[in-house]
Chain A
Amino acid sequence: MPGEVVLRGLRKAFGEVVAVRDVSLEVRPGEFLTLLGPSGCGKTTLLRLLAGFESPDAGQVLISGRDVTALPPHRRPVNTVFQHYALFPHLTVAGNVAFGLEMRRRGRAEIADRVAKALEMVRLGGLGERRPAQLSGGQQQRVALARALVLAPEVLLLDEPMAALDLKLRQEMRVEVKNLQERLGVTFVFVTHDQDEALVMSDRIAVMNQGRIEQVGPPEQLYERPRTRFVADFLAVRNLLQATVVSIDGGRAQLRTRGGAAFSAADDGGYRPGEMVWVGVRPERIRLEEGGDNASPPQLSGENRLAGKLEDKIYLGDRTDWRVRVGDETLTVAEPAGPARVRSGGQSVTVSFPGEAVLRLDSEGSEPP
């Protein structure tokens, strides 16, 4: 099917360093798929294997049902938006957008027409005669988009295209690029290290770590149910705890951390008594109350209440992150901005969170950084 991407057992090493290990992935036609991961996780190498700038040591790349593994970049039905745009400095904006059409030996009139439409599409009509150096970062990025999309590729590859923009512009471009993709129905494979970007734009996200894909799924699924410690850590599950399963009763697993904090988790069927497990709790799922005397042992209701002491405050505007000492563990608690509460370090508090907020994480998968 046009626009479909299938990767089979892709592997790429640079000397001793294995950048991509046995990656298999299917991208559906018209899908917005994001490769998310920290720098050095292999996401850019994977994209370059798709574009044809690197050739794999093993495995296959199929685009629109055709094996393109052995094809050089200029023969593949994909186009790329580069990280620093890679606009040709010696050509005008229109010259840049026309480049690919000229390579395909289109007629003059057709080129002029399609270039004008492409520039209109990215709202750069009238800037065709400028040089790339005369444009702002956001405008340059639009030129890069237009230059790639004017060729009507079956798949568009984007290599951290927003990394060089400031935050406000980046947030605008997220929505704009997503809308553009939905309008055109082109398959997008998008590389980023920014989890917010991935969550906002993607139909599906593939989280990469150490050359492997750790988890693939829609943003909601990844956010609600990260499967591994690495994915949880990367998607801002700040509290990662190692605990022993003390007992299981009534759909609740009773856990105790090495540091002595005891709480219960909703049992998803994955807990085994006596086993060591990793669990995660999102900071925004934990609530803070004044005073440490409201603590109680894990209850059947599933609401965990633990006594702790406030340590550090990290003010973030729309929320405040508190570091809370519970036994020998330190938890991060996010408190949304609201009526000013006077709190200070050393104060006794109670933290509470429902058992459903405790995410069981696979022990397999690699360590968080």
Chain B
Amino acid sequence: MTTRRAALLLLLPGLAVLAALFLAPQILMLESSLGRRSVYGGVIHEWGLGNYRRALEPLYLVILARSVALALATTLLCLLLAYPVAYWLGRKAPPRVRSALLVLVILPFWTSFLVRMYAWIFMLRTEGVVNLLLAHVGLGPLNLLYNDAAVLLGQVYGELPFMILPLYASLEKLDRALLEAAADLGAGPARALWRVTVPLSRPGIVAGAVLVLIPSLGAYLAPDLLGGARTMYMGTLIQSQFAVVRDAPFGAALSFLLSLVVLLLLAVFRRPLREAGGA
């Protein structure tokens, strides 16, 4: 009984913070999503499902689908790029350089994502670094900025460390004897990778995929800065509802719709995630 009481007592600060900073805003958002926009951008508290009905109109569903596609493409590209890096870091890199290289992986976090996006603009714009180099060899200039490819590039760049780190963690602890056993039983390197290494690094793959997929669904900075806000994604759409159109109730409804998609994806990933937690 006393241990239970002590546990509750210890949980209290955390619960209070969650209630004040997560639950309360969510409730306020939910309430306003049911309301209506006033002429001057306020919220009229007359409840109805109009905003949700509107959010499910084809115009917005296309944007949602585009965001899901961006998130999936980002996740897939990150996985393909991160796996060899994490494999090399975790299994091949000399131990002495390993930690230094891991620091390099997280080094970008020392700079604000916003600043790093501006750096990409500097790289990709018509008079940017890449086009200057291309001009040297008599090519270009190419339109590298303000298109979907630039958005994807920015997203992949930003999310890559979140894929590398969990993959590294699961590949690094993979028992070398298991790979030797695979070779001993006749598996060449490619088949050992496919039949042993990849299945056993599944916890890392799942964790990385979730860590990349969910923030990518609501991506805002890359679409806004590298995409030039030409193509709407859920992130830019919601931002514009609050800041530009001043339709907070509709923005709130769109946010909840996005949260719902995230929850659905988490439900799909629930089993592998639990296994990942247990491993």
CB pair A103 B187 closer than 8 Å:
yes
Of the listed stretches B77-85, B144-152, B191-199, name the one at the interface; the rest are far from the partner chain. B191-199
Tell yes or no: A100 within 8 A of B by CB.
yes
Number of B residues near A (Cβ < 8 Å) is: 18
A50 to B216 Cα, complex, angstroms:
50
For A53, give the chain B residue with the smallest CB separation.
Answer: B180
Residues in chain A near residue B182, CB distance under 8 A: 88, 99
Q: Helix, strand, loop or mixed for chain A's interface? A: loop
Residues in chain A near residue B191, CB distance under 8 A: 103
Residues in chain B near residue A74, CB distance under 8 A: 183-188
Residues in chain B near residue A38, CB distance under 8 A: none
CB pair B178 A86 closer than 8 Å:
yes
Tell yes or no: A174 within 8 A of B by CB.
no
* A80 touching B181 in the complex, CB below 8 Å, given contacts A86-B175, A99-B195, A103-B191: yes
Number of A residues near B (Cβ < 8 Å) is: 24
- Give the A-B contact count at a CB cut-off of 8 A: 58
CB distance from A364 to the nearest CB of B (A): 36
Residues in chain A near residue B195, CB distance under 8 A: 99
CB distance from A114 to the nearest CB of B (A): 13
Residues in chain B near residue A87, CB distance under 8 A: 181
Residues in chain B near residue A82, CB distance under 8 A: 177, 180-181
CB distance from B176 to the nearest CB of A (A): 9
For B279, give the chain A residue with the smallest CB separation.
Answer: A89
CB pair B180 A99 closer than 8 Å:
no
Tell yes or no: A151 within 8 A of B by CB.
yes
CB distance from B37 to the nearest CB of A (A): 53
CB pair A79 B185 closer than 8 Å:
yes
Tell yes or no: A73 within 8 A of B by CB.
yes
A341 to B122 Cα, complex, angstroms:
95
CB pair A86 B187 closer than 8 Å:
no
CB pair A73 B183 closer than 8 Å:
yes
CB distance from B192 to the nearest CB of A (A): 8
Tell yes or no: A183 within 8 A of B by CB.
no
Residues in chain A near residue B185, CB distance under 8 A: 74, 79, 99-100, 103, 147-148, 151
A103 to B192 Cα, complex, angstroms:
10
Residues in chain A near residue B188, CB distance under 8 A: 72, 74
CB pair A73 B180 closer than 8 Å:
yes
CB pair A51 B187 closer than 8 Å:
no
For B179, give the chain A residue with the smallest CB separation.
Answer: A86
Tell yes or no: B200 within 8 A of A by CB.
yes
Select one of A80, A84, A89, A90 contacting B184, CB under 8 A. Answer: A80
Residues in chain B near residue A99, CB distance under 8 A: 182, 185, 187, 195
Residues in chain B near residue A148, CB distance under 8 A: 184-185
Residues in chain A near residue B199, CB distance under 8 A: 90
For B202, give the chain A residue with the smallest CB separation.
Answer: A90
CB distance from A332 to the nearest CB of B (A): 39
Instruction: Give A contacts to B, CB under 8 Å.
Output: 51-53, 72-74, 78-80, 82-84, 86-90, 99-100, 103-104, 147-148, 151
| 15 A-B contact pairs sorted by A residue (CB < 8 Å) | A51-B184, A73-B184, A74-B186, A74-B188, A79-B184, A80-B181, A80-B184, A82-B177, A82-B181, A86-B181, A88-B181, A99-B195, A147-B185, A148-B184, A151-B185
5 tightest A-B contacts by CB?
A100-B185, A103-B186, A86-B177, A73-B183, A86-B181
11 extra A-B contacts, CB within 8 A, seeds A73-B184, A88-B181: A72-B188, A74-B185, A79-B185, A83-B177, A86-B175, A87-B181, A90-B200, A99-B182, A103-B187, A148-B185, A151-B186
